[in-house]
């Protein structure tokens, strides 16, 4: 009996071989996809974002002083809420772009506070450009004009938001520096 089973397993028919390959392929795909998504989501955590000293010692410290970090309602936006799109296609495109950031980590482009400050305007300009092009898509995950009660805002905010709606402006047009310090050149231009 065991000899027949062993013989069958050693010389399976083509029909069973294809079926076995399909089953193995299916389960391998599930395992790969699950692992892939686990890694992608792990890279969207605050702990991951501040695991390198460049982020922890520079922009994270600034962020901890903003309303996006701590506020009266306890609603908090972490790095990925602002810098990683929610939908899968745009998220994957952003993750691919992030490989460039890995290169700069390796070569030490911003590994000291001085180097970081030298690059701050260029980095901020890239982020602002993307936010402008996407109509501040990540901001709108939490903030949307059609959900704002302008009557509850102070006079200045109400006036500016009303004008922004009329003129088709997007969040980043007015809210640069909301979570991070503005680059020095940018501050000088706004003065």
Residue 57's Cβ-side half-sphere holds a number of Cα atoms within 13 Å equal to 11
CA distance 150 to 11: 75
Tell me, yes or no, whether 43 lies in a domain.
no
For 101, the token pair is 């950031």
Residues of the domain holding 167:
146-174
Tell me, yes or no, whether 28 lies in a domain.
no
Tell me, yes or no, whether 135 lies in a domain.
no
Closest CA to 178 of 81, 67, 57, 74: 67
Render each residue's pLDDT in the chain as its tens digit; 191 residues: 788 877 776 776 666 777 788 899 999 999 999 999 999 999 999 999 999 988 999 899 999 999 999 999 899 999 999 999 999 999 999 999 999 988 998 999 999 999 999 999 999 999 999 999 999 999 999 999 999 999 999 999 999 999 999 999 999 999 998 899 999 865 555 55
Tell me, yes or no, whether 166 lies in a domain.
yes
Tell me, yes or no, whether 153 lies in a domain.
yes
Tell me, yes or no, whether 91 lies in a domain.
no
Domain count, the chain: 1
What is the pLDDT, as a whole number, of residue 186? 56
What is the pLDDT, as a whole number, of residue 149? 94
3-state secondary structure the chain: CHHHHHHHHHCCCHHHHHHHHHHHHHHHHHHHHHHHHHHHHHCCCHHHHCCCHHHHHHHHHHHCCCCCCCCCCCCCCCHHHHHCCCCHHHHHHHHHHHHHHHHHHHHCCCCCHHHHHHHHHHHHHHHHHHHHHCCCCCHHHCCCHHHCCHHHCCHHHHHHHHHHHHHCCCHHHHCCCCCCCCCHHHHHHHC
Tell me, yes or no, whether 77 lies in a domain.
no
């Amino acid at each position: 009996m065991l000899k027949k089973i062993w013989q069958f397993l050693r010389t399976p028919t083509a029909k069973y071989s294809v079926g076995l390959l399909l089953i193995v392929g299916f389960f391998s795909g599930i395992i790969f996809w699950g692992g892939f998504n686990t890694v992608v989501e792990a890279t969207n955590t605050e702990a991951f974002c501040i695991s390198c000293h460049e982020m922890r010692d520079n922009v994270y410290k600034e962020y901890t002083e903003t309303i996006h970090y701590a506020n009266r309602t306890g609603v908090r936006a972490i790095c990925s809420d602002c810098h990683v799109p929610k939908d899968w296609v745009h998220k994957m495109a952003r993750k691919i772009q992030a490989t460039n950031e890995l290169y700069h980590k390796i070569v030490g482009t911003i590994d000291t506070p001085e180097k970081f400050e030298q690059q701050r305007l260029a980095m901020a300009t890239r982020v602002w450009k993307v936010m402008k092009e996407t109509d501040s898509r990540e901001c709108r995950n939490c903030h949307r004009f059609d959900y704002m009660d302008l009557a509850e805002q102070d006079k200045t905010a109400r006036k500016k938001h009303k004008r922004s709606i009329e003129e088709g402006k997007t969040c980043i047009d007015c809210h640069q520096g909301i979570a991070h310090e503005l680059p020095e050149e940018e501050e000088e231009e706004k003065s």
